[in-house]
Amino acid sequence: MRQTELWVAATELPTTSAHPFYSKLNEVLAKHGFDRFAEEACKEFYAPTMGRPGIPPGNYFRLIMLGYFEGLTSERGIAWRVQDSLSLRKFLGISITEKTPDHSTISKTRRLIDTETHDAIFSWVLQVLAKEKILVGESIGIDATNLAANAAMRNIARKDTGEAYQGYLKRLAEESGIPTPTKEDLIRFDKKRKKTTSNADWESKSDPDARIARMKNGSTHMAHKVEHAVDMDSGAVVGVTVQAADKGDTTTIRETVHTAFHALLDASGALGDPSLRSSMFLSTVADKGYHSGAVLLDLADFGIRSYISEPERGKRNWKNNREEQLPTYANRSRIRGDHGKALLKKRGELVERSFAHCYETGAMRRLFLRQRENIAKRILVHVAGFNLSLIMRKIFGRGTPRGLGDLLLNIFFSVHVVISLFQYCLDRANTRKLSCFKVSAP
């Protein structure tokens, strides 16, 4: 058995150069005082004396942002990735002799820091976007998507009796004439029967905040609803809310508009120019799922122009809803104009892009956390990472380390092709020159 080294010289420890993407990201964060802001915001959650030292606030939020930049689904995956990467150690300021944070420490830190502080970090990033002349905030596009919850449909139970879904299926199968149904019998029976599973009668035992919902691929799953408010000029997410998946769009839009409005106010206030507030959040763009007289009336009362697609409802009777008539006609006139059509087209592009980056390549389409509060904390900082990627895209042309690596690979490949083509042309030219000196046979 080989004896391991007892002492290792510091000069023999493995080293690597810092990743250029994360080095520049740290420069951006340091330029705007991120660590100082994070420590001040989290001061009440850290004891000044006694106790085991926790993760520094700045590093905790960097760890959550790594979930977006590296496409990591869970906090356990984030901890493993940091432990395995020397460049990420440099990004976090952790030396090779120091131990990286365990996933349980990350989870405990998240539970102790409240949602308002995570929201403050999200707002701070928006203020940085405003200072970097990226955020405009005049027109805001709104849309929502469902994220699969960390809860299975087979583990739901009735709210009134507490009966589990499997027991409920077995009872129905026995009542229909199957004396001792097997697992395969229950699956076939469940597929054939008329479904009556609703959120009014059923709830998840593992995640009571999750709701039964239809996913984008048509399947039914326990889910949480995430709604984005996106700047139509820069593509930055100015507001994000996590809500119950069984709530309609006309209900959830109010909280998202309120959140985005206050975030934009804070961003404009950070620039020290109060006049900018009058040019922010002048209009809202949404699809027909958000169209209702009450929503249009609320937006008009708030001084926000609406560009919301109108579904086909036939002729309407305004006898009992006179106050909704004018906002509805005004919205209809706006969406039929060239500017309205352009905004609606652009909304589909920018909002869907934020969903794709945050939840597809950002690996959050399937949640690993439970309870809406925990999910909101993770998503707020996750989306803040997406907003920071807009600054990195301005610097590098790419918003993630993987994107930067692909760009460098493409540049290297292009240079290689040019050099090979030049060498080929040079060889052809030399061949033609030599052919002039060939002597014909006598």
In a domain, 360, yes or no: yes
Closest CA to 304 of 278, 271, 324: 278
Same domain, 24 and 91: yes
Closest CA to 91 of 401, 325, 354: 401
Helix axes 75-84, 57-69, angle to 10 degrees: 100
pLDDT band, residue 159 (cuts 50/70/90): confident
Same domain, 183 and 139: no
Within 10 A of 260 (CB to CB), how many other CB atoms are there? Answer: 27
In a domain, 234, yes or no: yes
Q: What is the pLDDT of residue 199?
A: 86
pLDDT band, residue 142 (cuts 50/70/90): very high
For 158, the domain range is 153-204
Within 10 A of 386 (CB to CB), how many other CB atoms are there? Answer: 26
Q: Is residue 225 classed as helix, strand or coil in its secondary structure?
A: strand
Same domain, 354 and 241: yes
Same domain, 255 and 214: yes
pLDDT band, residue 53 (cuts 50/70/90): confident
Q: What is the pLDDT of residue 8?
A: 63
| Contact of 372 with 209, CB cutoff 8 Å | yes
Non-local (6+) Cβ contacts of 134 within 8 A are 234, 236, 390, 391, 394
The CA-atom distances, in angstroms, between 300 and each of 83, 257, 286, 422 are: 52, 13, 15, 64
Residue 336 predicted with pLDDT over 90: yes
Q: pTM of this prediction?
A: 0.85
| Contact of 342 with 319, CB cutoff 8 Å | no
Same domain, 273 and 221: yes
Residue 260 predicted with pLDDT over 60: yes
Residue 438 predicted with pLDDT over 70: no
Q: Which of 386, 414, 435 is the last residue of a domain?
A: 386
On the CB side of 98, CA atoms within 13 Å amount to 11
The CA-atom distances, in angstroms, between 235 and each of 33, 126, 140, 265, 387 are: 24, 12, 9, 18, 9
Same domain, 200 and 258: no
Same domain, 189 and 228: no
Non-local (6+) Cβ contacts of 217 within 8 A are none
Same domain, 227 and 338: yes
Residue 81 tokens read as 């990735």
Same domain, 189 and 277: no
Residue 330 tokens read as 């005004």
Closest CA to 376 of 240, 282, 271, 193: 240
Tell me the average pLDDT of the chain.
85
User: Tell me: the pLDDT tens digits for 189-246?
Assistant: 777 777 667 888 888 989 999 999 988 888 889 999 999 999 999 999 999 999 999 9
- How would you class 150 by CB atoms within 10 Å of its CB: exposed for 0-12, middle for 13-18, buried for 19 or more? buried
Non-local (6+) Cβ contacts of 387 within 8 A are 122, 125, 126, 129, 236, 237
Residue 369 tokens read as 């956390």
The CA-atom distances, in angstroms, between 348 and each of 140, 226, 338, 339, 410 are: 12, 16, 16, 15, 29
Total domains in the chain come to 3
Same domain, 137 and 277: yes
Handedness of CA 290, 293, 298, 302 (dihedral sign): positive
In a domain, 419, yes or no: no
pLDDT band, residue 295 (cuts 50/70/90): very high
192: left (phi over 0), alpha (psi -120 to 50) or beta: alpha
Non-local (6+) Cβ contacts of 318 within 8 A are 324, 325
Q: Which of 362, 386, 410 is the last residue of a domain?
A: 386
In a domain, 126, yes or no: no
In a domain, 426, yes or no: no
| Contact of 96 with 236, CB cutoff 8 Å | no
In a domain, 26, yes or no: yes
Closest CA to 391 of 29, 87, 122, 18: 29
Burial string for 188-210 (b: 16+ CB within 10 Å, else e) reads ebbeeeeeeeebeebbbeebebb
On the CB side of 58, CA atoms within 13 Å amount to 16
Q: Which of 204, 226, 241 is the last residue of a domain?
A: 204
Beta-ladder partners of 224: 147, 244
100: left (phi over 0), alpha (psi -120 to 50) or beta: beta
Same domain, 217 and 191: no
Q: What is the pLDDT of residue 163?
A: 80
Same domain, 214 and 195: no
Average pLDDT of the residues in 287-297: 93
Q: What is the pLDDT of residue 157?
A: 86
The CA-atom distances, in angstroms, between 6 and each of 3, 15, 125, 321 are: 9, 20, 46, 82
User: Tell me: the pLDDT tens digits for 340-370?
Assistant: 999 999 998 999 999 999 999 998 999 999 9
Backbone angles phi, psi at 235, to 5 degrees: 85, 5
